[in-house]
Amino acid sequence: MSIKHLHEYRDPELSRKIIQQIKKTSQKNIRLMEVCGTHTTSIFRNGIRSILPETISLLSGPGCPVCVTAQNEIDAFIELAKLDDVIIATFGDLIKVPGAHSSLQNEQAKGRDVSVVYSTFDAIDIAKKNPDKKVVFLGVGFETTAPTIAASILSAHELNLNNYFVISAHKLLPPALFTLAENPETKIDGFILPGHVSVIIGVKAYIPFYEQYNVPCVIAGFEPIDILQAILMLTKQIEDNAAKLENSYQRAVTFEGNPKARSTMNAVFETTDAAWRGLGNIPLSGLKIRKEYAAFDAQKVFGIKLAESEDPKGCACGEILLGIKIPPQCPLYKNKCTPVQPIGPCMVSSEGTCAAYHRYHDT
């Protein structure tokens, strides 16, 4: 997108016009959930909550991949870091997430080899440069990152790189929507669907969910105009009692999505049941490495068993991910849990709801 186009999607005058339309249209009290951490951050950064009419409540859902990673998966990552011949390669947000007894950051401080990387191919380079070490990439993310991680396994396979491994803790977003819709406590009237994920999976991936629940859904981009337009579209659907599955991010999202990216992802991964923080076990909502690439599967190579573990005591991150609570309703928020000393992942990740509240919200 050019600078010119970016300016257009941040135009204050156009924003005011859309806000006026929202206020004119909105009569019912409605609850809308954005299911994307980048949306959450953009909503707070641009002050969108504060300019909406009181009839519209915005809730943040399970759109932060680090936040929804189960506690026992975090603990498994930390145990891997303690092995003498292992180099952990990870994206930055994971490093500060507390496990039951430690964190990757704490292990790094103790001298364990934990490297923050910006792409999976950085991890491949680390493996090439350290043939005497076993490099384990922590595969956390949604459909957006899974294709690149799959591509790294294919690359390692082609290079006969026998010291590169991935532990797959990926999550698939559409199955989580079913869980949210079935939870009587969430009471969501409409969904702002994620832009990045939708680029990969396309509009068609949401059709089964929409057809089963007939709930208003709009795919949105990340600029202020994008988000306000999605809110307006959802408000009109709800006021007219005419639920639709709409795509307001057509400059990036197509009906089919990105078949090549999905093909790469599906070549390496297959679906499996997965545990989500806050949402519990969701059938076929995760990805595991296919047996054809078992040599790169850290869970099998290292014999990792995911033990039972509990979320941090008093932390409401799970309920926040469901939209049942907002961060100020957590007893730890801004008290014991801060960005400097986080207790739950919702305060750690740059896409976490608690982190966004702490940085941008007045309360």
Is pLDDT above 70 for 7? no
Structure pTM?
Answer: 0.93
Helices (H), the chain: 3-8, 12-25, 37-45, 48-51, 65-68, 71-81, 104-109, 120-129, 146-158, 173-182, 195-201, 207-213, 224-239, 259-268, 298-301, 317-321, 353-360
Q: Is residue 202 a part of any domain in this protein?
A: no
As a whole number, mean pLDDT of residues 30-40 equals 94
Q: What would the pLDDT profile of 66-111 be if each residue is shown by its tens digit?
A: 999 999 999 999 999 999 999 999 998 899 999 988 999 999 999 9
Share of the chain above pLDDT 70, in %: 97
CB atoms within 10 A of CB 259: 11
As a whole number, mean pLDDT of residues 181-204 equals 95
Query: What distance in Å separates the CA atoms of residue 102 and residue 112, rounded to the nearest whole number?
Result: 12
Q: Is residue 156 a part of any domain in this protein?
A: yes
The mean predicted confidence, pLDDT, of the chain is 94
Is pLDDT above 50 for 2? no
Give the list of residues 6+ apart from residue 230 with CB closer than 8 angstroms, or none. 192, 218, 219, 220, 248
Give the list of residues 6+ apart from residue 76 with CB closer than 8 angstroms, or none. 167, 304, 306
Is pLDDT above 80 for 4? no
Q: Is residue 354 a part of any domain in this protein?
A: no
Where is 269: in which H helix or E strand? strand 269-276
Query: What distance in Å separates the CA atoms of residue 91 and residue 117, rounded to the nearest whole number?
Result: 5
pLDDT at 231: 98
pLDDT at 362: 52
Largest CA distance in the chain: 65
pLDDT category, 306, cuts 50, 70, 90? confident
**CA–CA distances in Å: residue 190 to residues 6, 19, 31, 265:** 27, 18, 7, 29
CATH number at residue 150: 3.40.50.11740
pLDDT at 53: 96
Query: What distance in Å separates the CA atoms of residue 314 and residue 228, rounded to the nearest whole number?
Result: 34
Give the list of residues 6+ apart from residue 207 with CB closer than 8 angstroms, or none. 245
Is residue 59 within 8 Å of residue 188, measured between CB atoms?
yes
As a whole number, mean pLDDT of residues 2-17 equals 71
> Structurally, how many domains does the chain consist of?
1
Is residue 292 within 8 Å of residue 156, measured between CB atoms?
no
Q: Is residue 332 a part of any domain in this protein?
A: no
Domain region containing 128: 68-172+258-301
What is the amino acid identity at position 71? Q
Q: Is residue 329 a part of any domain in this protein?
A: no
Q: What would the pLDDT profile of 261-281 be if each residue is shown by its tens digit?
A: 999 999 999 999 999 999 999
Comparing 3 with 231, the larger pLDDT belongs to 231
pLDDT category, 3, cuts 50, 70, 90? very low
Residue corresponding to tokens 């859902």: 61
Q: Is residue 268 a part of any domain in this protein?
A: yes
pLDDT at 309: 77
**Closest among 105, 128, 125, 109 to 117, alpha carbons compared:** 125
Phi/psi for 340 (5° steps) reads -75, -40
Q: What would the pLDDT profile of 209-258 be if each residue is shown by its tens digit?
A: 999 999 999 999 999 999 999 999 999 999 999 999 999 999 999 999 99
Instruction: For residue 339, give the DSSP letter.
Output: S
Give the CA radius of gyration of the chain: 21
Q: Is residue 35 a part of any domain in this protein?
A: no
